Amino acid sequence: MDVIDELKSFRERDVPYTRVLSSMCTIPHPIAVEAHKMFINVNLGDPGIFRGSFELEKKLIEMLGRILHNQKASGYICSGGTEANIQAIRSFRNKNKSKKVNIVVPKTAHFSFDKAGEILCIEVKKAGVDENYRVDLGEVESLVDDRTIALVGVAGTTELGQIDPIVELSKLAEEKGIDLHVDAAFGGLVIPFLDNPYPFDFVNRGVSSLTVDPHKMGMATIPAGGILFRDESYLKFLEIETPYLTSKTQFTLTGTRPATGVASAYAVLKQLGFDGMRKIVKECMKNTKIVLEEVQALGFEQVIEPVMNIVAFKSDKAEKIRDKFYEKGWVISTIREPKAIRLVVMPHVTEEVIKEFISTFKKILSDL
């Protein structure tokens, strides 16, 4: 068999996005794909060679900084939210020069903070949440001790799309003189385009860094994560000497680094603009409401009122339902506390997709 045919046979076994309601990734915007192809050879790990691409990355960081209320934001486009979260915590740890430290994160935070803790030799203390699955401020405060170097808040939790009380976390961080990282990997390119955006970003003086992933709701190609720091001082704590490159130091976690995510993210944001992004988010929120109502009509209750385009429904049979969907070629996911099925309504989850999804759901329920 010809190599390309062989590759096709593997690719065909992937579940198409139009059957996926579990992922925060989506079909990239056509302009993203076009931009991606133009930068396919570029290694941003060597900015002395790829000078134009490196300039483009700076422009994109500026653009994201403007969206997130910080014209002085410093950072880079990375492999995704996990790298972004690790790098924020690494910067804070190195700034504090001590290795025996801890951070306080909501128990609903992404598992990349566990990964960061293990990798960086940092204790990760977990604060409980209130009845709306926002982190409990009292619990956060009680977990802070003299070894705590940072707090974490999430703007768009992975499981429910909930936003932690970043305003109050920011005040607490300022009061304690410690850093605050906001994981807005998902929400960073949703919340600014909602009708009544919650102030989750650098507008809060206590926010030191922020994760925002263009390859999620920014419809860029994979990989395009983003880590933004309040100012460039935080990047200094990440620098390693690079004797044989065209740059003298390197602050990224990885070495070789594609520019495809930079180009594709820039292309989408520039092409769509603020209004275009609002339209995309509006459409996703409209479809989330349709999913909410349709699944309610099947007898399910939502865990929280959807804040963004993620919705979860309580069910003791959540895992069984997920497995049945899986058998029928669909992918949804579950959460464990409370037991629930979880649906992410990305741009590829159109009204047409929802119709087929609900019809499949009905069949599954009748067999259950």
Binding to its own copies (CB under 8 A): which residues in 25-84?
25, 27-28, 31, 33-43, 45-46, 48-53, 55-56, 79-83
Q: Which residues, 218 to 247, sit near its own copies by CB under 8 A?
A: 221-223, 225, 240-246
Given 342, 343, 357, 364, the residue binding its own copies (CB under 8 A): 342
Q: What are 33's two structure tokens?
A: 């794909």
Q: Which residues, 303 to 332, sit near its own copies by CB under 8 A?
A: 326, 331
**Closest distance between its own copies and the C-beta of residue 174, in Å?**
28
d(CA 95, CA 48): 28
Query: Does 256 sit near its own copies (CB under 8 A)?
Result: yes
Q: Which residues, 109 to 168, sit near its own copies by CB under 8 A?
A: 111-112, 114-115, 118-121, 158-159
Given 95, 107, 270, 289, the residue binding its own copies (CB under 8 A): 270
- Neighbouring CB atoms inside 10 A of 43's CB total 14
Tokens 């003086």 sit at which residue? Answer: 205
Given 4, 145, 195, 305, the residue binding its own copies (CB under 8 A): 4
**Closest distance between its own copies and the C-beta of residue 360, in Å?**
16
For residue 173, give every residue at least 6 positions away whose Cβ sits within 8 Å of its Cβ, in sequence order, or none.
150, 151, 179, 180, 206, 207, 208
Query: Does 266 sit near its own copies (CB under 8 A)?
Result: yes
Residue count, binding to its own copies (CB under 8 A):
91
Query: Does 338 sit near its own copies (CB under 8 A)?
Result: no
d(CA 294, CA 361): 10
For residue 29, give every residue at least 6 positions away whose Cβ sits within 8 Å of its Cβ, in sequence order, or none.
219, 220, 264, 267, 268, 271, 272
Q: Which residues, 179 to 218, sit near its own copies by CB under 8 A?
A: 213, 215
